[in-house]
């Protein structure tokens, strides 16, 4: 399961609308706990696929390195990534699976239809290696502002 606050969830969906008709992409920082991923921050990244941004995305590894360092400094981790599918369903494609290499991380996909964010789905990259990896659907739990505040108070 992916647990994300409403602010971060809406932010990643808006990102897809802002870059439409091109794909957006970003990283999710947070914690792995009990087989789930808890998102604390959604970080927007640039799409380096200038040759076909309408149906491909790539995050500059140098940008990813900076995000990885930021996560280490904050005592959290990269727990997933997100991107948009302009005028395509929020389902993973063969390209998404072939290019997914962060095992146990979430891959969140938002369908953006005619410029408006439609459905958002998340898939966890399961398996142990490149040969048996799979993108499996997972539940997204979006925490409201009240729930987020209640969790902070509990901690």
Q: Are strands 106-113 and 77-86 parallel, antiparallel or unpaired?
A: parallel
CB of 147: closest distance to another protein in angstroms?
A: 25
Kindly report the number of other CB atoms within 10 A of residue 152's CB atom: 8
Q: Contact residues for another protein (CB under 8 A)?
A: 23, 25, 27, 32, 49, 52, 55-59, 61-62, 64-65, 68-69, 71-72, 77-79, 81, 83, 85-86, 88, 92-93, 95-96, 99-105, 107, 129-130
Rounded CA separation 135/104 (Å)? 10
CB of 149: closest distance to another protein in angstroms?
A: 27
Beta bridge partners of 77: 30
Beta bridge partners of 118: none
Q: For another protein, which is the closer residue by CB, 97 or 147?
A: 97
Q: For another protein, which is the closer residue by CB, 129 or 154?
A: 129
Q: For another protein, which is the closer residue by CB, 6 or 127?
A: 127
Q: For another protein, which is the closer residue by CB, 6 or 70?
A: 70
Rounded CA separation 95/86 (Å)? 15
The DSSP letter of residue 29 is: E
């Amino acid at each position: 399961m992916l647990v994300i606050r409403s602010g971060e969830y809406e932010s990643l969906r808006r990102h897809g609308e802002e870059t439409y008709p091109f794909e957006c992409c970003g990283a999710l920082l947070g914690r792995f706990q009990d087989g789930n991923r808890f998102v604390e921050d959604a970080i927007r990244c640039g799409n380096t696929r200038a040759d076909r941004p309408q149906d491909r995305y790539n995050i500059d590894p140098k940008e990813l390195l900076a995000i990885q360092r930021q996560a280490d400094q904050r005592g959290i981790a990269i727990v997933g990534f997100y991107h948009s599918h302009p005028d395509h369903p929020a389902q993973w494609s063969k390209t998404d699976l072939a290019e997914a290499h962060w095992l146990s991380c979430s891959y969140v996909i938002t369908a953006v239809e005619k410029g408006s964010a439609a459905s958002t789905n998340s898939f966890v990259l399961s398996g142990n290696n490149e040969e048996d990896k799979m993108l499996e659907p997972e539940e997204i739990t979006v925490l409201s502002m009240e729930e987020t505040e209640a969790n902070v108070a509990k901690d």
